[in-house]
A and B are shown apart, each in its own frame.
Chain A
Amino acid sequence: MVAGGDVSMKIDELPRRSSLLPGNPSCQGCPHAIGLKALSVLENPVLIIPAGCTTIIAGIHPKAAFNVPVLHVPFASAAAVASGLAASYRKEGVEASIVVWMGDGAADIGFATLSGAAVRNEDIIVVVSDNEAYMNTGIQSSSTTSWKARTTTSPGGKSEEKKDLAAIMLMHRIPYAATASVGYLPDFINKLKRASEIDGFRFIHLHSPCPPGWRFDSSKTVEIARLAVKTGAWILWEYSGRFRITSPSKPYKDGSKRVPLEEYIKTQGRFKGLSEEDVEEIKSKIEEQWKFLLAFEEIFR
């Protein structure tokens, strides 16, 4: 068994080989590269990739880094291109899992596109691999950058809130929405598998700590992703008809079980110099988020 938090999996259930081949251009310790490994549980995947780090990761002509079909598309267009592809495959009876793999930045600029595709309940899976900034262009703030995190466009710390993209997508009344983390691959894989058994628009918001972007050592990607969950700062949940907090996050419903937030914050250069009051404020924001999601659990039983 492979343990990943509380979720365990039989080794034989694990994807054997990533669809992303070794020797690709991702940085050392890249969270996208870890997350992309999970996609190999999907049958007949076709990947749609808008501008972002994964554009680079996907290889340099004539060598492609993916061993599945990949279509590169403009930054804001991914969910729409996927919709067209889905329409064609449906017409022709082609079996495929169309996966949009995009960054948080692509979800910003392509928000209307994403929303439109969700409203149409297009038969696609969208994974937003959220490293909480525009990394490919050099660490600029996005809607999902954490409050107070330093980026090159928020050198003194971001002054706005982190947008709860997954909850917004859920409110589109799509059949499947979830959050996941590169620190808990078995949980992410389980979610992808469940999503793949459902028709229609499926959305997964994947938390992806990025070593150069958040300023931590490349060996710590998984550890920091887990700390985000253990401190309650990133909450894993799933909706597929009913809403539930999923295993790795379950123990932290009880605030007293959470690891102190400082443990998470101090690992990252982007939070350097946060005042005690700031940390307290982040804690209260986290508390609010828990209340909100636990209320969801009540509502969507």
Chain B
Amino acid sequence: MKHSEYLIAKPSKGSAGQTGLWRSFRPVYHVERCIRCLLCCFYCPEDVIEVHYHRFILFHYEYCKGCGICASICPEDAIEMVEEEE
């Protein structure tokens, strides 16, 4: 390996591994309550909430850390934090 390769890292998801495993609570979507304001998506620190068809949303659980910000910011309680089972 060239020495510069020891210094240079390339963009990659999951630089800390599969951070979804950090979760104790999982965000669960209640689509029927969603008003599609996208606040959840906007403030998710992990950027794992995707804007889907017609501005409904989709969680990418592989990296979602379960911080709960999306649920706490949702104006319609359309996201519920549910305890992960072992």
Contacts and interface: CB of A to CB of B under 8 A. Distances in A.
6 contacts: A2-B38, A59-B15, A60-B9, A63-B11, A219-B68, A223-B73
Nearest to B23: A28
Interface residues on B, range: 35 or more
B4 to A, nearest CB: 12
Contact of A63 (B15, B48, B62, B69): B15
Given A26-B45, A29-B67, A222-B69, A60 B11 contact: no
B46 interface: yes
Contacts of A24: 15-16, 19, 46
A170 to B, nearest CB: 28
B78 interface: no
A64 B12 contact: yes
B15 A25 contact: yes
Given A23-B62, A219-B68, A220-B72, A64 B15 contact: yes
B12 A63 contact: yes
Interface SS majority for chain A: mixed
A11 interface: yes
A21 B14 CA distance: 8
Contacts of A62: 5, 9-10, 12
B13 interface: yes
Given A25-B16, A31-B45, 7 more contacts: A22-B47, A22-B60, A29-B45, A29-B67, A33-B45, A65-B11, A219-B71
* Most chain A Cβ neighbours within 10 Å, of B14, B46, B72: B46
